[in-house]
């Protein structure tokens, strides 16, 4: 058994509960070593989403409540920095985790903006930290060939989904990054308000489109692809991406090798930052920071 530590804004949330369940199920079903969430730290004592306190969550799961992130880091084998809905806290919350020398996963959305993403990465390099970050949707079975570099070249793509930009935009952006790769140069907002549509232009002449219906909820993420052999595909994601992601996370804890490199993660944050700017300048191309 390996001990997993969680550092979070509030511990009772959809992500922490999902990881707790899936780590046990995957170990049991696949006969692999179990990773158990054993120690947790939360800035807030009560979850605003469930009203469950840290003490109550720990009583339910068997984890130990810690008073500081450092206490978590000292007690466990691997570390997860969550706070999925508050990426503005990640720069603070990764401090002790990165200094620990242990493998770290940082939950989506990696950073609130490109500048902070670069600061987090620079800090990781200064202390020799090993980390990665990703949207779980990259691990949906329909996207796995592209995640593993086996899907072939995609000439253009359209990613679509629903819900609020602040929390869910990263999923659509990382879906596009999974199939298109790095190289985004500029973003243009074609439609704002409750029907967000962006065009993303790439340095090599390709382009992709992003469509998010803000007022809707529960619409499955899907992506349409124009591939190099002139075959068009429409890939719809399902809730199975959570199991695929949890398995990928456990693989990382086992080997230290992640499926998503940090430059891809940082480019996705740069695209998201450009989108926020483009929403204020509809019809105008906004350069993606860091693009060369």
Residue 199 domain flag:
yes
Same domain? For 206 and 113 the reply is no
Going from the C-alpha of 265 to that of each of 39, 44, 138, 150, 170, the distances in angstroms are 27, 27, 11, 19, 10
Q: Give, as one character, the DSSP assignment of residue 46.
A: B
Residue 266 domain flag:
no
Same domain? For 116 and 188 the reply is no
Same domain? For 249 and 276 the reply is no
Torsion of CA 222, 228, 231, 235, to 10 degrees: -10
pLDDT at 266: 97
Show the tokens assigned to 291. Answer: 């693009």
Show the tokens assigned to 76. Answer: 């466990």
CATH number reported for the structural domain that contains residue 189 in this entry: 3.30.360.10
Same domain? For 89 and 16 the reply is yes
pLDDT at 240: 87
pLDDT at 292: 60
Same domain? For 147 and 223 the reply is yes
Same domain? For 121 and 40 the reply is yes
Same domain? For 122 and 77 the reply is yes
Judging by DSSP bridges, how do beta strands 131-134 and 195-202 pair with one another?
unpaired
Residue 123 domain flag:
yes
Same domain? For 227 and 91 the reply is no
Rounded distance, CA 227 to CA 13, Å?
A: 38
Rounded distance, CA 254 to CA 285, Å?
A: 43
pLDDT at 71: 98
Number of domains in the chain: 2
Same domain? For 101 and 221 the reply is no
Show the tokens assigned to 196. Answer: 């967000």
CATH number reported for the structural domain that contains residue 33 in this entry: 3.40.50.720
Q: What is the pLDDT of residues 164-199, one digit of tens each?
A: 999 999 999 999 999 999 999 999 999 998 899 999
Q: Are the C-beta atoms of residues 178 and 138 closer than 8 Å to each other?
A: yes
Residue 41 domain flag:
yes
Residue 264 domain flag:
no
Same domain? For 15 and 131 the reply is yes
pLDDT at 218: 74
Residue 265 domain flag:
no
Same domain? For 10 and 33 the reply is yes
Residue 292 domain flag:
no
Residues comprising the chain, all counted: 292
Residue 280's domain spans which residues?
138-237+271-287
Same domain? For 21 and 86 the reply is yes
pLDDT at 215: 73
With a cut of 50, which residues of the chain have pLDDT below it? none
């Amino acid at each position: 058994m390996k001990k997993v530590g969680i550092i979070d804004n509030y511990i009772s949330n959809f992500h922490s509960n999902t990881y707790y369940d899936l780590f046990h199920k995957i170990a049991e079903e696949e006969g692999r070593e179990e990773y158990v969430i054993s120690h947790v730290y939360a800035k807030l004592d009560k979850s605003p989403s469930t009203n469950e306190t840290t003490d109550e969550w720990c009583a339910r799961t068997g984890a130990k409540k810690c008073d500081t992130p450092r206490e978590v880091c000292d007690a466990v084998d691997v570390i997860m920095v969550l706070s999925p809905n508050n990426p503005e806290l990640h720069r603070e919350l990764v401090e002790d985790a990165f200094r620990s020398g242990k493998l770290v996963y940082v939950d989506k959305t990696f950073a609130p903006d490109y500048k902070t993403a670069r600061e987090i990465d620079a800090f990781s390099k200064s202390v020799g930290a090993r980390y990665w970050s990703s949207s779980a949707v990259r691990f949906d079975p329909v996207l796995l060939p592209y995640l593993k570099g086996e899907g072939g070249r995609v000439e253009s793509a359209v990613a679509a989904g629903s819900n609020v930009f602040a929390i869910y935009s990263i999923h659509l952006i990382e879906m596009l990054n999974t199939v298109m790769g790095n190289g985004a140069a500029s973003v243009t907002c074609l439609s704002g308000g409750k029907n967000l549509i962006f065009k993303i232009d790439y340095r090599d002449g390709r382009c992709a489109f992003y469509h998010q219906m803000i007022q809707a909820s529960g619409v499955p993420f899907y992506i349409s692809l124009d591939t190099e052999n002139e075959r068009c595909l429409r890939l719809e994601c399902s809730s199975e991406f959570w199991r695929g992601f949890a398995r990928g996370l456990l693989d990382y804890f086992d080997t230290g090798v992640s499926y998503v490199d940090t430059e891809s993660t940082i480019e996705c944050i740069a695209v998201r930052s450009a989108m926020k700017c483009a929403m204020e300048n509809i019809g105008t191309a906004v350069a993606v920071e860091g693009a060369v």
